[in-house]
Amino acid sequence: MHYSIVPGGVLKGTIQVPGDKSISHRAIMLGALAEGSTLIRGFLPAEDCLGTLKAFQEMGVSISIDVSDPTQVHVQGVGLRGLKAPLASLDLGNSGTSIRLMAGLLAGQSFSVTLTGDESLQKRPMRRVIDPLKLMGAHIEDTDGKPPVTVHGEAQLKGITYALPIPSAQVKSAILLAGLLAEGKTTVIESAPTRDHTERLLTAFGYPISSHDKSVSLEGGHAFRGMEIQIPADISSAAFFMVGAAIAPDSNILLTGVGINGTRLGVIHILRAMGADIEIKNQRQYGAEPVADIAVRYSPLKGIEIPLEWVPLAIDEFPILFIAAACAKGKTLLRGAAELRVKETDRIATMVQGLERLGITASALPDGAIIEGGEFFGGEIDSHGDHRVAMAFSMAALRASGSIKIHHCEPVATSFPNFVAVASQAGLNIKEEK
Ligand code: S3P
């Protein structure tokens, strides 16, 4: 399946993007480990999160999706030690968050389970979670450091203190989730802040957890009860429209109910530093998570050197930020982002290749890129099966001189199943074709 986008267009109106992917995964996982029922509203019914949901069903958890509203999910929690061995290995599709967090969550259970996924997931590094889990006493086998991985339960885990060698919320969360079943105290120390949704959701469930400066700690073994969770709209999905409105003259949009957790705000810091006109309105809380409506109007952008401390706070937004940089006056420099090379694709390579195809001067660095602002031609792009690359190049059409065709767009369904409908409603001339 590919996208065909007619060049030009203006983004206008009020836009509701779907629920946050990171929080949707965590809501299913913690809802399953809670005692009693959890009602999730604003769930992201996309392939990645549905993969997590199905995996917990296969481990004996009763989970139902509301027939008339797939963003409402009921989870009947089984408690910390109530999961059952699945009949077969668990296929987590394209989702790095599912496999990494579940490796931690399952490390102290009483059964063995094999976790696997699609071709892309089978290329993604797992030692970053397996190494600290082994220090806790876990027995895990990997395939050359990658999935499939087999987590042999029946290990009595012990709490550890672990300093993260790379900024990664997935690694931090895997260790904390393993810590729920460990003896004693588990502490994770971060050198740079990463998304803290696991910590916030545990706190919301009433699980005792403490944060001091750069460290977060919990003691294993506390039971917690199910609750109601309202999930904000995903700022990583909103980011495509923020950039679209910032680069398309006359645009003026309002994104509603978007999560504005400080550990996710890198995209707003970077766009504002480039000269974007972004207003955060009507701030409020959905449980432990802050949300707001975000207004974005067109305004000319300039290239910047992206401050290193913003990189982990915008780690999923670089595909669309590369499009913003290509529309900015002057040069944008990104460093400190080697992690982009091990996402759903090598995002430095796939983005630089696509930008060059559309006539932009860009060069890849081992840990980032240099992008010169310019004019997009029309052309054909291969997303290489990366959802965020496909959506990013769709927005480039707003400023292109010819049509853009993007190949291999099926994986957009992993994070933003109604992207074409929402983007069309906002003013992008996009069509999905077989
Ligand atoms: C995520 C953390 C990030 C991010 C991913 C989701 C999470 O990965 O890229 O899309 O939900 O914890 P890392 O923690 O590996 O950087």
**Would you call 316 a catalytic residue per the annotation?**
yes
pLDDT digit string (tens) for 21-75? 999 999 999 999 999 999 999 999 999 999 999 999 999 999 999 999 999 999 9
In the structure, what pLDDT confidence band is assigned to residue 253 with cuts at 50, 70 and 90? Answer: very high
153 pLDDT exceeds 90? no
pLDDT digit string (tens) for 234-244? 999 999 999 99
Beta strands in 66-112 (DSSP E): 73-78, 90-91
Domains along the chain? 2-19+232-433 (3.65.10.10), 21-230 (3.65.10.10)
Q: Which of 316, 346, 367, 382 is catalytic?
A: 316
- For residue 139, the cross-strand partners are 152
Task: Give the helix/strand (H/E) hosting 25.
Answer: helix 21-33
Cα 67 to ligand 1 centroid, rounded to whole Å? 30
Q: What residue owns the CA closest to ligand 1's atom 9?
A: 316
Measured between alpha carbons, how far is 264 from 270 in angstroms, rounded to an integer? 12
Pocket test for ligand 1, best of 97, 188, 196 (most atoms within 8 A of CB): 97
Minimal CA–CA distance to 31: which of 302, 263, 298, 227? 227
Cα 167 to ligand 1 centroid, rounded to whole Å? 10
- What atom of ligand 1 comes closest to residue 172's alpha carbon? 14
Ligand 1 residue neighbourhood (C-beta within 6 Å): 22, 97, 168-170, 173, 194-195, 315-316, 339
What's the angle, vertex CA 321, arms to CA 2 and CA 360, rounded to 5?
70
Q: What residue owns the CA closest to ligand 1's atom 10?
A: 316
Sheet of 228-230: strand order equals 62-65, 73-78, 35-41, 228-230
Cα 388 to ligand 1 centroid, rounded to whole Å? 13
